[in-house]
Structure 1
């Protein structure tokens, strides 16, 4: 038997094994949470903010900061913390980019504003050790169904309260 024939036989055997383990999709079974009506029950589809929407959020955020005389950076991440859009505003400091991403990711992961999470550190200091998280004001979640769609993070204003106000202004670009 040639190597090619052996590889093909192994692939066919593996495919048969996998298909025998997967449940058959029943047409009368409603889709699982996160699955669409046209997806098999074993497939999960995720939703997040589109790139054009993320850019609108960033523009609205930077406009609010500029109106307040602040130089900030903004990041919009999906619920997994992957950057959708990120802008360093004119004159924003070099560390503002990373803090904006980390605040956005923290807000998205917990689906809670980072200012609220910062208060929880008093009773749960172990939260501080979560990699990639930043528990300072300035991150707000983008709510969705069944879970958060994204997070918006802002860094660079003198206080987390101001950063959060700018993030909320960005969120208003989505009518939320």
Structure 2
């Protein structure tokens, strides 16, 4: 190879390098932008997932607060009705609206919660409905005197344990409890817990 050919070859390589450098730079920049875009897309998807999980948790928390409050209120009013009927007075007018509020809260919870919480809430629903049915039979005179009133009183008092089981399941689902019952207040008998 002579000197002129070598010079020409060096010139061609230099010109090719000059011409290809912007293309190579553009390709590298394009690849970097694509990777950056993909990372941003993943970050956005993760943020949406976290926001959705937080919104779901807030919906469950709100539903749990409503169900817990309506269950407690219905139980309190049932106890007041037991005491009133036992004393020969009429039942309060607030019990039926409290029952309806509980049923509405339960219907909402059914569509939001995991199975273990729904199971606990359903046990409360069944126990409260059973207490209402027993109270109706007793009020109609189908009971057996004072012993039946005492049994009914004890049954309605015992509903507290179903409600605290439900509360423990709810708290665990929300991540604020272990699922172990925590005696949060005194029962009508004066004892701590159920």
TM-score range, shorter chain: under 0.3
Report which of the two structures shows the higher radius of gyration computed on alpha carbons: 2
TM-score by length of 1: 0.24
Relative to its length, the structure with more helix (as a share) is 2
Relative to its length, the structure with more strand (as a share) is 1
